[in-house]
Chain A
Amino acid sequence: EAQVTQNPRYLITVTGKKLTVTCSQNMNHEYMSWYRQDPGLGLRQIYYSMNVEVTDKGDVPEGYKVSRKEKRNFPLILESPSPNQTSLYFCASSLGPGAANTGELFFGEGSRLTVL
Chain B
Amino acid sequence: EDKVVQSPLSLVVHEGDTVTLNCSYEVTNFRSLLWYKQEKKAPTFLFMLTSSGIEKKSGRLSSILDKKELFSILNITATQTGDSAVYLCAVNNFNKFYFGSGTKLNVKP
Contact = CB atoms under 8 A, between A and B. Distances in A.
Given A42-B88, A103-B31, A105-B34, A33 B97 contact: yes
Interface residues of B, number: 23
Interface string A85-116: 00000101000010000111111111000000
A74 interface: no
B25 interface: no
B92 interface: yes
Interface residues of A, number: 25
A55 to B, nearest CB: 11
A42 B99 contact: yes
Contacts of B98: 45, 59
Interface of A: 33, 35, 40-45, 48, 50, 56, 58-59, 90, 92, 97, 102-110
Interface of B: 31-32, 34, 36, 41-45, 48, 50, 88, 90, 92, 94-102
Given A102-B48, A104-B48, 11 more contacts: A42-B88, A42-B100, A43-B88, A43-B97, A58-B96, A90-B43, A97-B95, A105-B97, A107-B43, A108-B42, A109-B42
